[in-house]
Amino acid sequence: MEIIVDGRCRRLEKMPETVGGLLDLLKESVKADQRVVMAVRLNGEELDIQAQQRIAPQRPCELASVEIETADARALCVATLEEAARHIQPLVDECGRIGELIDAGRREESLSRIVPCLEVWSTLIAAVQKVAILLELDLKEVVAEDSTLAEVVMRLAEVLRALTADIDAGDFVAVRDAMKYEMPEVAGKLDSHLEALSSAVSAS
C-alpha cells in the first residue's frame, strides 16, 4: 500500500491494524509539525468525516493507497479569524436594519432576515471554537478590554439563545432591543478579541 502525505511517499515502521488507526497515526504525525489535515483520499477517492468513520474498522491491507493533504495550522487559523472578523460589521449593520424594520411595524420582513443573521453569528462562534481546538488554546487566556474571549463567546451565545426564545414568544420589543443595542455591544468586544487572538497566533 502506498501512503502519501502532501505529495510525498511516507513509510511506517509498523502498520496499524485498522484504517482508522492508520488515519489517526498520520493525523498525529502532521500535528507535531503544526499542520492540520485538510483532505483524506483512500484509493484516490476523497472521503468526508462520516465516510472515514464508516471505513475505519477495515484493514489497511484492503487499500491500494492512502493520501492526505495538510495545511499550516496557524496560517489556517489566522485566515479563519480574519474571515470571521470581516463578517462582524456587516452583521451589526444588518442587526440595525432588522431593528428599524421592527420599529416600522414590518415584522414579517424582519423575521425573514433574522434567521440568516443568527445563523452567521452561530457560525462565528463555531469558527472561534474550531481555532481553539486546532491550536489547543484556552479562550479564558485571551484577554482584551478587561474580559476574556471565553466570556465574550458565552455572552454572544446567551444573546442568541434569548433572541430565539423572544422570537418564538413573539416579543418583538425584546428582539428589537437586542438587535439594536445588545448585538452591537457584544460584536464590538468580539471584534477586539479576534484581533488580539489573530495577532497572538501570527506572532507565535
C-alpha cell at 181: 443595542
pLDDT band for position 169 (cuts 50, 70, 90): very high
- Residues 98-147: pLDDT tens digits? 999 999 999 999 999 998 999 999 999 998 888 888 887 888 888 888 88
> In sequence order, what are the beta bridge partners of 204?
none
C-alpha cell at 38: 485538510
Please give the full DSSP string across 69-111, using - where no structure is assigned. EEEEHHHHHHHHHHHHHHHHHHHHHHHHHHHHHHHTT-HHHHH
Residue 11 sits at φ, ψ, to 5 deg, of -110, 145
- Mean pLDDT, range 165-174, rounded to an integer: 95
- Residues 3-51: pLDDT tens digits? 999 999 988 888 999 999 999 999 888 887 888 888 999 998 898 888 8
The DSSP H or E segment spanning 46 is strand 45-47
- Residues 65-101: pLDDT tens digits? 999 999 998 888 888 889 999 999 999 999 999 999 9
Specify the 3-state DSSP secondary structure of 1.
coil
The pLDDT score that the predictor gives to residue 204 is 66
> In sequence order, what are the beta bridge partners of 70?
37
User: Has this prediction a pTM greater than 0.95?
Assistant: no
pLDDT band for position 177 (cuts 50, 70, 90): very high
Q: What is the CATH number of domain 2-72?
A: 3.10.20
- Mean pLDDT, range 187-193, rounded to an integer: 91
> In sequence order, what are the beta bridge partners of 144?
147
The pLDDT score that the predictor gives to residue 136 is 79
C-alpha cell at 167: 422570537
Pairing of strands 2-5, 65-72: parallel
Give the whole-angstrom CA distance, residue 19 versus residue 61. Answer: 9
Give the whole-angstrom CA distance, residue 93 versus residue 192. Answer: 17
